Structure formats: structure tokens, C-alpha cells
């Protein structure tokens, strides 16, 4: 007859194995769901306070290590890791430059208009397949969209803008209804900045405007 303690040990081991498998499967399902989740996903939210009156630009620089990027970070700057690179994002005047790093893009001037005392920079990433389309929405402040690969088309009441990997960034003014569509034949990867009042979300539902489908033939 087997020792009861031995049998108990086997039972506990089996229970632990089952529990571990359940955790692993749940983690896998979560990772798969996150990978399939469409649209823009948050990277960082930075409190800016009151912005200066001078025209502001979005500076995008990359570094070999996060430590180097953190050392170069100045006012209104933040470090993120996305799309296999370490980025330093900074809102500053056109002539501002960080120490070291590789300059990727300078976007602006941002069409800020009158800003309140508590402004926020919401940085987001997006990786969407061709054919993906957002709902009709708007932002409380300007949106800047830099595309690393693929193609994206944004329709507004003023017409459409098309962004391509490594090409010109897109700038969309605040309080303007829009719809974004991933076009072309490859996954669209973009980094997005929305500057808005801290009391409002980076994305707001929009109504009263229907897209004409201008991006369908892009």
C-alpha cells in the first residue's frame, strides 16, 4: 500500500500542473487578444501644464538604449519603447535639439490655437491591417500622425490626407470629425500624438458628419 503522504504529494503536483497550464493558457489568450486588438493603443500620457505662446513642434528621436534617451530628456519630453526602437518624444520649439540620438522627424508647427492651463500629450501606437477603419471621431486638440510603414488615409470634412511609411506626417486640427482607414497592402504602423485639455479624453465621439468614402479608392 502506498504511503498516504506520497499519494498526497502526487495529487498536489497534479493540481499545480493543471493550475500552471490554466495560467499559461489564459496568458496566451490575453496576449493573442492584445495582438488582435485594433486601433490606437496608449503609449504614454504626459502632463504639460500651460504651454508657451511660441509655435511648438513634435520632435521624434531614437536612441540605442533607454538610459541614453532618459539622459537626453528635457522639459515636455518622454521616453517610450515601441516598434523595436527606443524613442524620445519632445514638444519644443523648432530649433530645439536633444543630446545625441538620431533625428527621425520634426512635425509642426502643431495647430494648437488657444490652450488652457492644464494641457496633456497623449502618445499612442497603431498597427492595423489593410481595410481597418475607425469610427467617426474627433479630438479636443490637434493630432499628429507619423507613419513608419504601410499607408493610412484620413478623411475629414475638408477632404482626405494620405500618410505613407517614411513620408510626410499628417496633421489634423482639433474638434474636427474624422475617419481613418488603413490602405495599401501591408500592415500600417504609426505613432500618434494628440495634445488636448487634461479634463478631456484623447478621443471623443463625433456626430453630424458622414464620410463620403474618399479613402476607399486611395
Q: What is the pTM of this model?
A: 0.81
In contact, 132 and 189? CB cutoff 8 Å: no
Backbone angles phi, psi at 65, to 5 degrees: -135, 155
pLDDT of 192: 97
Helix (H, G, I), strand (E, B) or coil at 169: coil
CA 139 to chain centre: 14
Domain that holds residue 98: 41-205
Total structural domains in the chain?
Answer: 1
Residue with cell string 490575453: 30
Residue 211 forms part of a structural domain: no
* pLDDT at residue 117, as a whole number: 87
Domain assignment present for residue 1? The answer is: no
The length of the chain in residues reads 218
Q: Is residue 36 part of a domain?
A: no
Q: Is 28 contained in some domain?
A: no
pLDDT tens-place string over residues 145-200: 999 999 999 999 999 999 999 899 999 999 999 999 999 999 999 999 999 999 99
Percent of the chain with pLDDT over 90: 74
* Rounded Cα–Cα distance for residues 165 and 172 (Å): 18
In-domain check, residue 22: no
Specify if 18 maps to a domain: no
Which pLDDT score is estimated for 113?
Answer: 78
Residue 148 within a domain: yes
| pLDDT (tens digit per residue) in 96-125 | 999 999 999 999 999 997 778 899 999 999
Q: Could you tell me if residue 5 is inside a domain?
A: no
Q: What are phi and psi of 198, to 5 degrees?
A: -65, -20
How far apart CA 197 and CA 176 sit, in angstroms, is: 15
Digit-coded pLDDT (tens) for 9-63: 443 334 343 343 343 334 334 333 333 446 889 999 999 999 998 899 999 999 9
State the CATH number of the domain containing residue 88.
Answer: 2.60.120.10
Amino acid at each position: 500500500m502506498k504511503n498516504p503522504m506520497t499519494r498526497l504529494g502526487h495529487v498536489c503536483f497534479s493540481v499545480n500542473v493543471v493550475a500552471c497550464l490554466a495560467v499559461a493558457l489564459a496568458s496566451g489568450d490575453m496576449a493573442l487578444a492584445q495582438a488582435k486588438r485594433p486601433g490606437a493603443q496608449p503609449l504614454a500620457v504626459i502632463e504639460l501644464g500651460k504651454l508657451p505662446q511660441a509655435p511648438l513642434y513634435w520632435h521624434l528621436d531614437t536612441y540605442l538604449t533607454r538610459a541614453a534617451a532618459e539622459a537626453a530628456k528635457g522639459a515636455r519630453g518622454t521616453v517610450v519603447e515601441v516598434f523595436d526602437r527606443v524613442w524620445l518624444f519632445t514638444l519644443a520649439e523648432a530649433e530645439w535639439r536633444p543630446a545625441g540620438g538620431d533625428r527621425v522627424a520634426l512635425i509642426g508647427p502643431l495647430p494648437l490655437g488657444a490652450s488652457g492651463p492644464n494641457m496633456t500629450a497623449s502618445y499612442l501606437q497603431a498597427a492595423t491591417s489593410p481595410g481597418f477603419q475607425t469610427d467617426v471621431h474627433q479630438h479636443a486638440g490637434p493630432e499628429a500622425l507619423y507613419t513608419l510603414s504601410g499607408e493610412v488615409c484620413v478623411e475629414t470634412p475638408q477632404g482626405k490626407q494620405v500618410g505613407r511609411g517614411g513620408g510626410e506626417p499628417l496633421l489634423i486640427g482639433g474638434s474636427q470629425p474624422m475617419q481613418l482607414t488603413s490602405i495599401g497592402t501591408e500592415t500600417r504602423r504609426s505613432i500618434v500624438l494628440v495634445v488636448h485639455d487634461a479634463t478631456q479624453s484623447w478621443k471623443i465621439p463625433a456626430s453630424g458628419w458622414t464620410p463620403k468614402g474618399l479613402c476607399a479608392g486611395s
